[in-house]
Amino acid sequence: MKFLHFADLHLDTKFDSLNQIDGLPEKRRLEQRKILRQIINYIKENDIQLLLISGDLYEQKYIRKSSIEYINNLFKEIPETKIFIAPGNHDPYIANSFYASFDWNENVYIFKDHIEKIDYKNIHIYGYGFTDYYCRESEVENIEIQNPEDINILITHGALDGGTEEFREYNPLRETRLKKIGFDYIALGHIHKPYYKEEKDQRIVYPGSPISLGFDELGEHGVIVGEISKKDIQLEFIPTDEREFIEKEIDITEFISNEEIIEKLQKLELDEKNLYKIILIGKRYFTINLNQIKKLHGIENIVKIKNHTKPGIDIEKLAKENNIKGIFIRRMLEKKEIEGLDDDFIEKAIEIGLEVL
């Protein structure tokens, strides 16, 4: 049995982190639709019998009916493929959701917040979906497989082995417990980074998101394609996002002006299809004007520039000097202790003050 597993498309998300570049959020939303079309075409061309969507297919807060119709029309193009959806925390099955109100194609099945088992050919599909934006517990870990001699698949949206309070809000699951249940494949969603080849014959899988949503999601993005039998499973990661979000560091220790930074940016060899975040590092001996740099560098696919440099001065040494600079630094350090100001703030203030002096 061939299957395709994806999650976390977040269709119609706002892409607020990309709004520094005019039109880029709109372009990324079009690319989301293109990727979904690409997935459906792959299913048609490769005789995929089962499509597993493990939540966050769309953004409940922003999704438009026209986008839902677009999704459903694509589903109509693969009538022989059975589609199972387990809603997540961004697309929960709530009263005003399109999961509840829209007339989905007959090959689509949507799980709710109780464990269900759907028999499809010689496979048993167990599923659990969100019916709210949070899920602190579910009965997933208590499932008892009814037909262990057959192929059994679990599909759900959840946080695997998350120890923080945030993780416990989104259907917390323990990998050791899930393994004991005996599923032949567990299709998870929620984590946007692929998790599928950490061990031999892995059965618990996050495909990651098919499209990167920002610079906290570096690397390749795609879907998992698999072929499963009771004895064996073969998994393959198929990239879907034509763009990558990439971070590059520039050491400005030897630079003496903002103009040099701009010139360095303009000489970078960048792939025009990718999106870049530039991180300035090293020691600085002048005031960095990020607004000026962003305005003048003229490179469309540099989305963000961050200043992680440190002042090129020895504050402790200067504070011991018996002159106006030393007096200024000592007073600033006293102010830091009295008012509880952070180091970066005080370093920047001292740097500006010394430049004025």
For 36-56, write each residue's pLDDT tens digit.
999 999 999 999 999 999 999
Instruction: Summarize pLDDT for 19-33 with one digit per residue, the tens.
Output: 878 889 999 999 999
pLDDT at 287 over 90: no
Q: Give me the torsion for CA of 256, 257, 258, 259, rounded to 10°.
A: -110
Domain end call among 239, 260, 275: 239
Is the predicted pLDDT of residue 230 greater than 90, yes or no?
no
Averaged pLDDT, 249-266: 96
Q: Which long-range contacts (CB under 8 A, 24 or more apart) does 60-68 make?
A: 60/90, 60/91, 60/92, 60/94, 60/97, 62/12, 62/13, 62/14, 63/11, 63/12, 63/91, 63/98, 64/12, 65/98, 65/102, 67/11, 67/12, 67/33, 68/98, 68/102
Query: What distances in angstroms separate CA 50 from CA 239, 243, 271, one per listed residue?
Result: 19, 27, 36
Which of 222, 239, 256 is the last residue in one of the domains?
239
Segment 336-357 mean pLDDT: 83
Q: Are 207 and 260 members of one domain? A: no
Are both 37 and 159 inside the same structural domain? yes
**212 and 281 in a common domain:** no
The boundaries of the domain holding residue 299 are 245-356
Residue 10 has pLDDT above 80, yes or no: yes
Number of compact structural domains in the chain? 2
Q: What is the pTM of this model?
A: 0.85
The three-state (H, E, C) secondary structure of the chain, written as one string: CEEEEECCCCECCCCHHHCCCCCHHHHHHHHHHHHHHHHHHHHHHCCCCEEEECCCCECCCCCCHHHHHHHHHHHHCCCCCEEEECCCCCCCCCCCCHHHHCCCCCCEEECCCCCEEEEECCEEEEEECCCCCCECCCCHHHCCCCCCCCEEEEEEECEECCCCCCHHHECEECHHHHHHHCCCEEEEECCCCCECCCCCCCCEEECCCCCCCCCCCCCCCEEEEEEECCCCEEEEEEECCCCCEEEEEEECCCCCCHHHHHHHHHHCCCCCCCEEEEEEECEECCCCCHHHHHHHCCCCCEEEEEECCEECCCHHHHHCCCCHHHHHHHHHHHHHHHHCCCHHHHHHHHHHHHHHC
Residues 252 and 335 in one domain: yes
> In degrees rounded to 5, what are phi and psi of residue 189?
-140, 165
Q: Is the model more confident about 174 or about 315?
A: 174
Q: Which of 178, 210, 239 is the last residue of a domain?
A: 239
Q: Is there a single domain that holds both residue 260 and residue 174?
A: no
Same domain (yes/no): 229, 251: no
Compute the mean pLDDT over every residue in the chain, rounded to the nearest whole number: 93
Domain shared by 72 and 106, yes or no: yes
* Mean local confidence (pLDDT), 110-128: 95
Would you say residue 314 has pLDDT above 80?
no
